[in-house]
Amino acid sequence: MLLKYKKKKEVNKNSNKDSVKSKVGVTMPNNLRLLIVVGILLVIGAYMVFSASYVGVDSNPPWYYLIRHLLFMVAGLIMGIIFFNFGRMKNKSIFIYAFFLSSIFILGLAYLFGNTGGGSRRWISLGSINIQPSELLKPALILLIAHLLTRSKKPQIWLSLIAGFVVFVLVAIENFSSALIIILPVLVMLIVNGLKRKHYFAVLSIGIIGIPYFVISKTYRFLRLLDFSHVWLNPLSADYQAKQSLYALADGSIFGVGITNSKQKFFHLPEHHTDFIFAIVGEELGFLGAVALILLLFVLSFIIIQIALETKNRFSKLAILGFGSLFIFQTLLNLAVVVALVPVTGVTLPFISYGGSSLVSFLLIIGFILGASKPRKRKANENKKS
């Protein structure tokens, strides 16, 4: 009887320990983490867009850009819901090809009839709304390449043709930054899929020859690069923005000048609500606030890559890796421009900058990732006794 009582007591202790472990070991699924981090970034972005633009950019009312930003956010959420249900679509291939070809078509319209700004023709106007087709082309190309890598018999040939064509079109409208950002995720997907050694030399050769050519092929690009090398000697040059951006970051110091108290947004720093919004973040929230935002963006990148590694479906894995690479490269390039590490180029900070096409594009991407990801299933029998 005593032995039975001791055994029963030990069993109860072990079961209690297992229950405690199970409660402690409960982890939040990555798709929920992703949703929370994106939600925080959207709130920060909306507030910073208002803070940076309420001074009356282009003689518009204080709430003008915030309202438009929120409307684009709603449009992005709708697109996100559509792509969240991508896995349930019956004709996925037709949808991918249609998405890619329509993006190319809109890009062609922008090249022929679009608005010119910043030395390039990137936007097409639909009434009061400006659409930047290259932003929609980024997820379209990544989905197409993921599809070809998992369906086509000779993906390398197809990918070379498609990537070359897309980059050509993007460069033709003088949008070199988007061409660079869109080709880097393609390379990541190719490498992960298993790129042969002979192709590495071809890619490197094209890069070594192509990038310098594109830089010097347009006069304004070469002058921008030259001005960047003498940024402090030529304040009224193309890199005037970079200098004013550094002023904003310096004014912010450690703790910032206070929310909505930025001075540089009062017509000193051009594009302060779009490409250079991070400079306003640094000025108003200081070094600590800027670092906190960078860490939040880093956490989002980490979650996306983690979801890609956990995803079993090969198409979804490659697509999510491509989207994660796109997010990382675009974020790094924007931050590098703001701190004057690279010449000024028109690239938004995901979820933070004002830019309808970019916001819709990245919310679309998040919707796809959430739809493709699945929370980890705990093993119900892992603690069972043999």
pLDDT in tens, 144-198: 989 888 876 666 666 766 777 777 667 666 677 788 888 888 888 888 887 776 6
Spell out the long-range contacts of 131-134 with Cβ–Cβ below 8 A and sequence spacing 24 or more: 131/106, 131/356, 131/357, 132/355, 132/357, 132/358, 133/103, 133/106, 133/107, 133/109, 133/357, 134/107, 134/170, 134/173, 134/175, 134/178, 134/182
Q: What is the DSSP letter of 343?
A: -
For residue 72, the cross-strand partners are none
Q: Where are the domains of the chain?
A: 29-372
* Token output for 180: 């660079």
Strand order in the sheet with 120-126: 115-117, 120-126, 129-131
Contacts for 197 with CB less than 8 Å, ≥ 6 apart: none
How many of the other CB atoms lie within 10 Å of CB of 377? 7
Instruction: Look up residue 25 and give its two tokens.
Output: 């070991």
Banded model confidence at residue 383, pLDDT cuts 50, 70, 90: very low
Distance CA 344, CA 353 (A): 15
DSSP-derived letter for residue 207 is H
Angle between helices 356-372 and 277-310 in degrees, nearest 10: 20
pLDDT in tens, 236-282: 555 677 788 888 999 999 999 988 888 888 878 888 888 999 999 99
pLDDT (0 to 100) of residue 244: 87
**Which whole number is the average pLDDT over 23-52?**
87
Whether pLDDT at 336 is above 60: yes
Judged against a pLDDT cut of 70, whether residue 82 lies above it is answered with yes
Q: What is the pLDDT of residue 381?
A: 41
Residue percentage of the chain with pLDDT more than 90: 39
Question: What is the distance in angstroms between the CA of the first residue and the CA of the last residue of the chain?
Answer: 24
Q: Residue 136: phi, psi to the nearest 5?
A: -75, -25
Sign of the four-CA dihedral 109, 331, 327, 57: negative
Between 41-50, 81-90, 312-321, 371-380, the lowest mean confidence (pLDDT) is in 371-380
> What's the average model confidence in pLDDT over 203-213?
70
Take residue 43 and report the two structure tokens written for it: 């709130």
Flag whether pLDDT at 4 surpasses 60: no
* Of 121, 128, 15, nearest in space to 72 by CA: 128
Length of the chain: 386
User: pLDDT at residue 228 above 80?
Assistant: no
pLDDT over threshold 70, residue 17 = no
CA gap 278, 112 in Å, rounded: 33
Check if the beta carbon of residue 123 is closer than 8 Å to that of residue 110: yes
Residue type, 261: N
For residue 120, is pLDDT > 70? no
Helix, strand, or coil (residue 115): strand
pLDDT reported for residue 175: 73
* Average pLDDT over all residues of the chain: 81
Question: Rounded mean pLDDT of 59-79?
Answer: 90
* C-alpha–C-alpha distance, residues 362 and 138, integer Å: 10
